[in-house]
């Protein structure tokens, strides 16, 4: 008899959570894309992290492609970021040996290694505001 009560309680809990929509919609996310350049040239292979300044928001992350373009992701399955103010951290990643070999095999010369200027390597050096809807947030970095 006790097992029946526990099963009944479990089934009721599951049904109530389904009825109330227990978190299935998730937070409001805004689309965020942009281009990162250094001295006017696109920066490939840059990790981008938007860290929220206020409470109640979560970080979003992305990475630039060979054209310096990025798209923020809230999670592995959800593109975007929560509206709000952010500090933006950038980190250049190096090409792996196999990536360089593949570029050469494809007839392309690998780009020279890039180092971010010191002022952009400091936490919180860049800031951004994400608004509801669609956002294009470009970062035009200067080496001097």
Residue 104 Cα distances to 19, 92, 98, 140, angstroms: 56, 21, 10, 29
Strand-pair partners of 78: 75
CA count, 13 A, side-chain hemisphere, 110: 16
Q: What is the pLDDT of residue 111?
A: 73
Q: What is the pLDDT of residue 95?
A: 78
Nearest to 122 by CA among 101, 98, 141: 141
Q: What is the pLDDT of residue 24?
A: 52
Local confidence pLDDT in tens for the 144 residues of the chain: 444 443 443 334 333 333 344 455 789 999 999 999 999 999 998 999 999 998 888 999 999 998 999 999 999 999 999 999 999 999 988 878 888 888 889 888 877 777 889 899 888 899 999 999 999 999 999 998
Q: Global pTM? A: 0.74
Spatial neighbors of 120 by CB under 8 A, at least 6 apart, are 90, 126, 141
Query: Rounded to whole angstroms, how far apart are CA atoms 124 and 127?
Result: 7
- Name the architecture of domain 28-141: Sandwich (2.60)
């Amino acid at each position: 008899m006790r097992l029946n009560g526990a099963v009944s309680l479990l089934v009721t809990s599951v049904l109530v959570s389904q009825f109330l929509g227990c978190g299935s919609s998730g937070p409001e996310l805004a689309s965020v894309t942009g281009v990162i350049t250094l001295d006017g040239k696109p920066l490939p292979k840059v990790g981008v992290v938007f860290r929220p300044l206020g409470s109640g928001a979560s970080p979003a992350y992305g990475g630039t492609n060979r054209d310096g373009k990025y798209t923020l992701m809230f999670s592995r399955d959800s593109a975007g970021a929560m509206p709000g103010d952010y500090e933006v951290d950038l980190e250049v990643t190096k090409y792996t040996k196999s990536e360089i070999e593949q570029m050469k095999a494809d007839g392309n010369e690998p780009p020279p290694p890039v180092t971010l200027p010191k002022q952009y390597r400091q936490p919180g050096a860049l800031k951004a505001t994400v608004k509801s809807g669609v956002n294009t947030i470009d970062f035009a970095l200067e080496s001097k």
